[in-house]
Structure 1
Amino acid sequence: MTVRRSQGLRRASLSVVLLGAVCAGAGAAPDHRPSGLHGELVAAGLTTAGQLTVGGTPPSDLVGLWQSVLWADGYAAPSSVTCAYDEATAAATRIWQNNHQLSPDGIVGPATWGVAAERIAPAGRWMAYLGERHGLPLRLDGDGTYEVYDGGRFHRLRTDIVTLTHCR
């Protein structure tokens, strides 16, 4: 188990450079503040981050986060990180859910976020989503809000709008 975790941390560290170049800013981040607090993700747990559904979810950094999880686990290409929850994302989500012993409904809700959150671990000064193929770097700011690496710097991930360079 220690060897596997060590390999995962090494993958996460190496993926920081790749992420900045290829997936510019798609990261993992747990939880969403109650409405009215700037739509930022905080470190209280992904299970309250909100549901993602085709036709029911506006484009946002939160969608980009989920698409990045799919990429990190090998279910999607870097080009699929668009911050829009479309049918292709839902199809990849169904496969991911099935492979993680969840109901494959294509809806990213509390159970799906919860399974993904189990893969967030410390990685040096940062945190990382330890994907099956890549790691996604994260950082907590002083307020306990998760930040993602985007365009050469860290910034807060938004649940209500698209700010990620890769998606604009």
Structure 2
Amino acid sequence: MRRRHEHSGRIARAVAVTSATVAAAVVLAASPASAAEWGIHGAGNPLDDWWDEQIVSAKEQHHPRGNVAAMWQQILWADGYLTWADIDGDFGTKTTAASKKWQADHGLDADGLIGRNTWKKASTSNLTLGSEANTFVYWGTGGRKITFKRPNDPDYWQMQLGSEWGTLSYDLCTYDKCVGV
């Protein structure tokens, strides 16, 4: 009898674990996919949109090639850490070294991973409302600036690189400067 009770207890625990796993899977399946999975998405206050974005770095799992990598390179250019020619949408060794220097100079861990703290520092330090509707300007050093748009609320952010506008996607590099990526 004791064996059957132990066996019943194991079955009950297994059913409980399975039920919890299935319930979690149903909740995840019913939830909309995170907008951040595709690109920089914003809703509400635009000046805090970047704080919860994905990590961007040279590591393959951190979106090393795309418009968001080009965005970060343009921020580094605006702040004097990269040249205009270095902007190519590929987060390579030059971008990693410049990122570490930028992070150290801004009091952050200089790990080359562009995550929550780095995005937050960049947006709170230098991002302001633009003069046109739904535009924002990142003010770098020496008068260098980057213009961004968030066309609607909510919507994906866009950046101007040269004369082109592109949606800030993590894994697509659509600017002419990104042709080789």
Mapping 1:10-159, distance limit 5 Å:
33-35=35-37, 39-44=38-43, 45-56=49-60, 57-118=63-124, 119-125=126-132, 126-133=135-142, 134-142=144-152, 143-150=154-161, 152-159=163-170
User: 2: CA distance between counterparts of 1:141 and 1:156?
Assistant: 10
Structure 2 gap ranges (5+): 1-33, 44-48
Deviations 1:49-79 (A, max 9, x none): 2112223233110100000000000011001
TM norm structure 1: 0.72
TM norm structure 2: 0.67
Residue 27 of structure 2: aligned partner:
none
Q: 1:150 Cα deviation (Å)? A: 4.4
SS of 1:90 mapped into structure 2: helix
Percent identical pairs in the alignment equals 22
Q: 1:106 Cα deviation (Å)? A: 1.3
How many equivalent residue pairs? 134
Instruction: Label 1:120 to 1:87 Cα distance change in 2 as closer, same or farther (>3 A).
Output: same
User: 1: CA distance between counterparts of 2:93 and 2:116?
Assistant: 20
- Structure number with greater Rg is 2
User: 2: CA distance between counterparts of 1:58 and 1:101?
Assistant: 24
Structure 1 gap ranges (5+): 1-31
Does structure 1 retain, via aligned residues, the 8 Å contact 2:57–2:64? no
2:166 matches 1:160: no
Instruction: Label 1:99 to 1:58 Cα distance change in 2 as closer, same or farther (>3 A).
Output: closer
The residue type equivalent to 2:157 in the other structure is: Y
